[in-house]
């Protein structure tokens, strides 16, 4: 049991160091705000981050506007970083954020058609927010990458020709209808 506890401690310390490094990265949009908050409060930015995360988690469980907060978290940062990716000269960040948006879009469609889940699953908005954060983590194997390569891509490769044919046929029929008017 002590070995497992030590492993968890080591993992948490590594995670904390990764978070601290990211929170001090001058290329990130939050660094300036955290510099000011840390300076004014005297509280380390890692503690500020974990405290804010805990408050967000509690609000996502019990707050009246939990759905709004979840969607702001799932859209605002990815949208901002996606604009940076579009403006950068590399393709790697474009692919990363397109993968996120594909995953986000599929999840949104599934959520729309199974909207009752939001009322049945306890703490749904917290779970969704954790899922979206997992999908946008700044790692090579984040949630959107795993979902894309394990689920979306194989399904797409298997069915894209049939879907393309349906779309082409639909476009031809629409064009013919529009030409005859």
| For helices 2-23 and 45-62, angle between their N-to-C axes, nearest 10 degrees | 100
Q: Read off the pLDDT of residues 6-15 as tens digits, 9 standing for 90 and up.
A: 888 888 788 7
How many other CB atoms sit within 10 Å of the CB of residue 100? 25
How many other CB atoms sit within 10 Å of the CB of residue 26? 7
Q: Read off the pLDDT of residues 24-70 as tens digits, 9 standing for 90 and up.
A: 888 877 888 888 999 999 998 888 888 989 999 999 999 889 999 99
């Amino acid at each position: 049991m002590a070995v497992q506890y030590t492993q968890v401690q080591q993992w948490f310390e590594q995670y904390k160091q990764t978070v601290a490094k990211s929170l001090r990265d001058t290329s990130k949009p939050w660094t300036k705000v955290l510099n000011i908050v840390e300076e004014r409060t005297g509280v380390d930015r890692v503690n500020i981050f974990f405290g804010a995360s805990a408050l967000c988690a509690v609000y996502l469980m019990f707050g009246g506007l939990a759905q709004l907060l979840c969607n702001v978290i799932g859209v605002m940062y990815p949208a901002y970083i996606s604009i940076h990716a579009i403006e950068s000269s590399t393709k790697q960040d474009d692919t990363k954020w397109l993968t996120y948006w594909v995953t986000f879009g599929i999840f949104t469609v599934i959520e729309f058609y199974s909207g009752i889940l939001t009322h049945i699953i306890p703490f749904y908005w917290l779970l969704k927010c954790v899922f979206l954060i997992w999908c946008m983590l700044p790692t090579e194997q984040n949630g959107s990458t795993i979902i894309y390569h394990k689920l979306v891509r194989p399904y797409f490769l298997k069915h894209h020709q049939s879907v393309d044919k349906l779309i082409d046929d639909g476009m031809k029929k629409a064009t013919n209808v529009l030409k005859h008017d």
